[in-house]
Amino acid sequence: MTFDPRRSLRRLAPLGAAVLLAACASAPPDHFYTLSGGVTAAAPVAVADPVYIEVLGVVVPAQVRRSQLVVTEGPGRVDLLEQHRWSAPLADEIGQALSLRVSAALGAIDVYRTPRPAGAAAYRISTNVQRFESAPGAYALVDATWSVRRDGSEAVLTCRSVFREAVGPGYDALVAGHRAALDKLGTAIAGAVRGVALGSGRCP
């Protein structure tokens, strides 16, 4: 009998396909998270209307500058969660969350990279996240240095805020903790913008 390699390959093809399908079926599903959902409008702070803000690009530590969730598992140890990822780059997620919170608190419009009316001043908000720590079942921590400056003014208000939220087990709870921390950070920044607008800007 003559050996036909093509016939052998045809026999093996269904087996290979079955193995591939089984592997795909057994792979855990990917989960994607966002930090900007669920922001509810607060009562606007009394600032001259309309208010324009510019939430500039956020800086985050290199260790968490990736799509996967990076979680703390012990002193000096972190794990990358391949099946648990941010829906956008973390810096963008944080920036959008802060923009929504500050805008809601002030009744403001974020005009970053957007034209605004001639002669209208904006309050520029810069944020540098020093630490963004995620400890499942323990805490979510955001440690950020941030500043507010009225467009056209040399005066800058620079502050630091640290928010640590206790969280329950699970990654949904961990992300909710970070959202709560960013909600508090956005509220603090909004209060600083109000102070700068009234000429009495102070760190909270």
Do 174 and 166 touch, CB atoms closer than 8 A?
no
Do 53 and 111 touch, CB atoms closer than 8 A?
yes
Angstrom distance (rounded) from CA 190 to CA 133:
23
Angstrom distance (rounded) from CA 47 to CA 2:
89
pLDDT recorded at residue 152: 87
pLDDT recorded at residue 2: 57
Contacts of 182 (CB under 8 A, 6+ apart): 35, 94, 97, 98, 101, 142, 163
Average pLDDT by stretches of 10, the chain with 204 residues: 52 49 57 81 54 96 95 88 95 97 94 87 96 97 97 93 97 97 97 92 86
pLDDT recorded at residue 10: 56
pLDDT recorded at residue 18: 47
Query: Can you list the domains of the chain with their CATH numbers?
Result: 32-197 (3.40.50.10610)
Angstrom distance (rounded) from CA 90 to CA 128:
13
The structure's pTM equals 0.82
Angstrom distance (rounded) from CA 18 to CA 34:
35
Neighbouring CB atoms inside 10 A of 71's CB total 19
